[in-house]
């Protein structure tokens, strides 16, 4: 069995942070490419799937957004941003409750 190559977490975070900046600016194609790159670096982290969910939601695809939020939660059931985003998109969000929409 081959040893898994060491993941460069700095590169992962650079990709995620740059993608979030692109999302905020509406540059979805650029954000998608960076998020796919982050997945290639480390597919076991919830942040990237949460960000993909946000991107889908911003594009009006709530169903796909929910799938990404669920993927993030399958990796880390305690990841609050994805839990909040999923709850909000399936109608469990209550007025006055904090809306996460963060990666």
Q: Tell me the pLDDT tens digit for each residue of 36-59.
A: 999 999 999 999 999 999 999 999
Token output for 95: 């007025």
Place of tokens 């290639």: 40
Domain-located, residue 3:
no
| Domain extent at residue 72 | 9-89
CATH number at residue 75: 1.25.40.10
Q: Tell me the pLDDT tens digit for each residue of 8-21.
A: 678 999 999 999 99
Domain-located, residue 48:
yes
Whether residue 102 is predicted with pLDDT greater than 90 in this model: the reply is no
Please report the pLDDT score of residue 9 as a whole number: 75
The domain tally of the chain equals 1
Domain-located, residue 94:
no
Q: Per-residue confidence at 65, pLDDT binned at 50, 70, 90?
A: very high
Task: Give the end-to-end CA distance of the chain in Å, rounded to a whole number.
Answer: 34
Whole-prediction pTM? 0.81
In terms of DSSP H, where are the helices of 1-103?
9-24, 28-41, 46-58, 62-75, 80-89
Measured distance CA(2)–CA(36) in Å, rounded: 24
Token output for 67: 């799938």
Measured distance CA(63)–CA(30) in Å, rounded: 22
CB atoms within 10 A of CB 61: 14
Domain-located, residue 30:
yes
């Amino acid at each position: 069995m081959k040893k898994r190559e060491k993941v460069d977490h700095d590169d992962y975070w650079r990709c995620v942070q740059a993608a979030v900046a692109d999302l905020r600016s509406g540059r979805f194609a650029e954000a998608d490419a960076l998020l796919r790159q982050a997945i290639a670096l480390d597919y076991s982290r919830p942040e990237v799937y949460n960000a993909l969910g946000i991107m889908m939601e911003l594009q009006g695809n709530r169903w796909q957004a929910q799938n990404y939020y669920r993927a993030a939660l399958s990796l880390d059931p305690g990841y609050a941003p994805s839990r909040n985003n999923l709850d909000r998109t399936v109608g469990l969000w209550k007025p006055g409750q904090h809306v996460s929409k963060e990666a």
